[in-house]
Structure 1
Amino acid sequence: MDRQQVMAYRIAAQGLHRETADPHDLAVFDLGVQDNQRGGPAIALAARLPAPADPGDDRFALLWSHRGAPHLHRRQDLKTLVAGLVPLSEADAQARMNWQRAQVARAGVPAAEALTATAKALRKAVGKTMTKGAASTAVTKLVPDGFSVWCRGCGATHILEQLMRLAAPLAGLELVRDASPATLTPMENRGPVPAKPDVAAATAVMAAYLRLHGPAAPGDAGGFSGTTATVAQDMWPSDLAEVQVDGKKRYLPADALALLENPPEPDVVRLLPPSDPLLQARDRDLLVPEKPRQKEIWKILGNPGALLADGEIAGVWRPKTSGKRLSIAVTSFWPLDPGTQNRVAEEAELVAAARGLTLAKVDW
């Protein structure tokens, strides 16, 4: 397979042909849709649904899940999801601590043990709806001193950010949607903190990644979860098809091979939010082969949205609001024909509607 065929497969697998009417049925929710607090999920749904979604649909819950980032998930999936977030090993737990791995190590407590202890403390501390700041203050009093750090911005000592984020779903806590500041609340009928890893649940995360972002390698799937390629192989699914993508060995679920071999034409035009599921694949060289363009899409701070056209990431876009009016500035990576530009303008109308605004203009 070549990358163009893989792109066509992913566009179809992720529902960007708008063939699914109910957001609950969208395959992207098998992993979750990341929420970047700028209307990301609403825009991602607008790119996939033939009609606007209900912004208050209570069949979904927001929580810190993969890599500690906020994702919107189906409520019916939460039990399995939370089980799949429990590290399989000490090496897995250390990897998931990410940028605060060294700080956790200095506490002198194994990372897996620190995560479990923090989850139990959070469950005790947050028995009702609380702002993140209040929850952080409460749990900091219950965990060992080594789990906390002095924060110059807050002017206080509080629990390590990544440790709190990873522990919150294990403690049965979700985020209140659209709340500012971030606010935690107990999940309905939350169970106890998981006592041990669930390999089957962790494997389900890998399988969902491969179905949505395949064909892919263990390092790609592991990276999405915040762990290593070695750990990913410990939760690697069975019944996979091996595929050569531009000469590299990759994998996807065997029952998805037919769609990969014969995907529909990727003739869609979509404006994707900065954290859209399509952009969450870890093999960025496949999504956007040109390094300078990668730097335009994935920045350290303030990512733009992405323009999808003719099976490629064809540019970036940025919004600007003035009152209840939205302007969108589009920068294409190559000249687009007038028909495509007209379709971009139609998509801009949908983006504005998804954010509860009126489109003022599209600037090129």
Structure 2
Amino acid sequence: MLELDREQVLAYRIARHGLSRDQDDPAKLAVFDLGVQDATARAAAELALAARLPTDRPVSLVDDARFTLLWSHRGAPHYHRTEDVAALIPALLPVDDADTLARLSWQRKEVADAGMPATQVLLTAARAMREAVPAAMTKGSASTAVTRLVPAALTRWCRPCQATHIHEQLMRLAAPLAGLRLVAGATPATLEPLADRPRIPVATDIARVTRVVVDYLRLHGPALPTEAAGFLGSTRATVTERLWPSDLVEVRVDGKKRYIPADRVAELANPPTPDFVRLLPPWDPFLQARDRELLVPDKAHRKELWKVLGNPGALLAHGEVAGTWRTKSAGKRLEVTFTELLRLGTAARAAAKEEAARVAAVRGYADLRVAWS
């Protein structure tokens, strides 16, 4: 059995995530096998590409037809390869009512009040959204339109909006099933039908959902069912009993068993040394691994990186998450403030400043100021 330590696992993941900048075509980056999470106001997806592509020029996904923005995994906005969308949408339909309940983050009482099984709740919302959004509509307008069509039990009073509307997570999970995408770069968030709008899936394609688990294990492995379930928003039982791939190899990481697809074992056994510095934005694919204790062993450091609100970016240096970074704009200048979690040398600090210049370019700032707290 292959015995590994965490440094070797991190080196494998860093290489698999394309952070060595050996690929100049974003569509070929393995991170798009799962999708790249976006936050439009902070250019999260573009900053994730800046950490991976060799070019110094900002790369925009907004007008690139090769990519489509959807509410996908866990209802979060992700860019996916457009050519993958047709296969992805059936994979977003939960495998059973327990899976749906977990992905909705509902309690059993809410399903009981709805008067229908959890999966039927989701499909009812998807059918209503397909009817309610025949053309581009802002999220608010779409929510108003679909709320008129769904049973009252699928709505709730929203204090911030001072209105009754469809449950937020239900709307997000139903939208891709209804064949709706997010308009990239649009503010406020805007939904529109996909160009080749597929039918609403009526049955789960277990093979396609399992493929999502495989892609998770290839990017974030070696891992366990619990961690794959966390990425999906599902439960360990669902992944273990319904979605766990058969072609896996058991390995040990610091003495603990983990699993990796068989086609990744050779690379895992001998990954390249990550002797570089990168700035990863909040929600970067590398930070989406659910075994945060392996990524960042120190509990206090994890609290600095993953907060309830307002996560900083991560400073990756020589194979470790060695610090955090935040930005603040001041007129035409972007200020980037670094905080060390691990001690950095002069060369690493200089490299971090060079990476900060990439961040400024993506954000559209010509002037940069760097500080260390």
Shift of residue 105, structure 1, vs aligned partner:
4.2
1:353 aligns with 2:357: no
1:58 aligns with 2:61: no
Question: In 2, Cα distance between the equivalents of 1:16 and 1:260?
Answer: 16
Contact kept in structure 2, 1:218 and 1:232, CA below 8 Å: yes
Question: Mean Cα displacement is larger for which, 226-235 or 135-144?
Answer: 226-235
Unmatched 5+ stretches in structure 1 = none
Shift of residue 183, structure 1, vs aligned partner:
0.6
Aligned-residue identity in percent: 58
Contact kept in structure 2, 1:100 and 1:160, CA below 8 Å: no
1:282 aligns with 2:285: no
Judged with a 3 Å threshold, the aligned counterparts in structure 2 of structure 1 residues 101 and 160 are, in CA distance, closer, same or farther, namely farther
Partner of 1:103: 110
Structure 1, residues 310-357: CA drift from partner, whole Å, max 9, x if none? Answer: 100001000111233211000011321111111001100111111222
Shift of residue 113, structure 1, vs aligned partner:
0.4
Question: In 2, Cα distance between the equivalents of 1:99 and 1:262?
Answer: 43
Please report the TM-score for the alignment, with normalisation by the length of structure 2: 0.95
Counterparts of 1:1-364 in structure 2, within 5 Å, are 1-37=4-40, 38-51=42-55, 52=57, 53-55=59-61, 56-98=63-105, 102-233=109-240, 234-364=242-372
Contact kept in structure 1, 2:10 and 2:319, CA below 8 Å: yes
Shift of residue 359, structure 1, vs aligned partner:
3.9
Which one-letter code corresponds to 1:145 in the other structure?
A: A
- SS of the aligned residue for 1:222 comes to helix
Question: In 2, Cα distance between the equivalents of 1:109 and 1:58?
Answer: 39
Shift of residue 238, structure 1, vs aligned partner:
2.2
Question: In 1, Cα distance between the equivalents of 2:60 and 2:162?
Answer: 40
Contact kept in structure 1, 2:279 and 2:315, CA below 8 Å: yes
Which one-letter code corresponds to 1:218 in the other structure?
A: P
Judged with a 3 Å threshold, the aligned counterparts in structure 2 of structure 1 residues 99 and 114 are, in CA distance, closer, same or farther, namely closer
Contact kept in structure 1, 2:247 and 2:262, CA below 8 Å: yes
Contact kept in structure 2, 1:100 and 1:162, CA below 8 Å: no
Question: In 2, Cα distance between the equivalents of 1:86 and 1:345?
Answer: 43
Please report the TM-score for the alignment, with normalisation by the length of structure 1: 0.98
Contact kept in structure 2, 1:348 and 1:359, CA below 8 Å: no
Contact kept in structure 1, 2:101 and 2:107, CA below 8 Å: no
Which one-letter code corresponds to 1:45 in the other structure?
A: L
Question: Mean Cα displacement is larger for which, 106-115 or 311-320?
Answer: 106-115
Question: In 2, Cα distance between the equivalents of 1:298 and 1:101?
Answer: 29
Question: In 2, Cα distance between the equivalents of 1:46 and 1:160?
Answer: 35
Which one-letter code corresponds to 1:139 in the other structure?
A: V
Unmatched 5+ stretches in structure 2 = none
Contact kept in structure 1, 2:68 and 2:80, CA below 8 Å: yes
Aligned length: 364
Judged with a 3 Å threshold, the aligned counterparts in structure 2 of structure 1 residues 74 and 209 are, in CA distance, closer, same or farther, namely same
CA RMSD between the two structures? 1.2
Question: In 1, Cα distance between the equivalents of 2:357 and 2:82?
Answer: 30
- SS of the aligned residue for 2:134 comes to coil
Question: In 1, Cα distance between the equivalents of 2:237 and 2:230?
Answer: 11
Contact kept in structure 1, 2:360 and 2:368, CA below 8 Å: no
Structure 1, residues 252-289: CA drift from partner, whole Å, max 9, x if none? Answer: 11111111110000112001000000000000000001
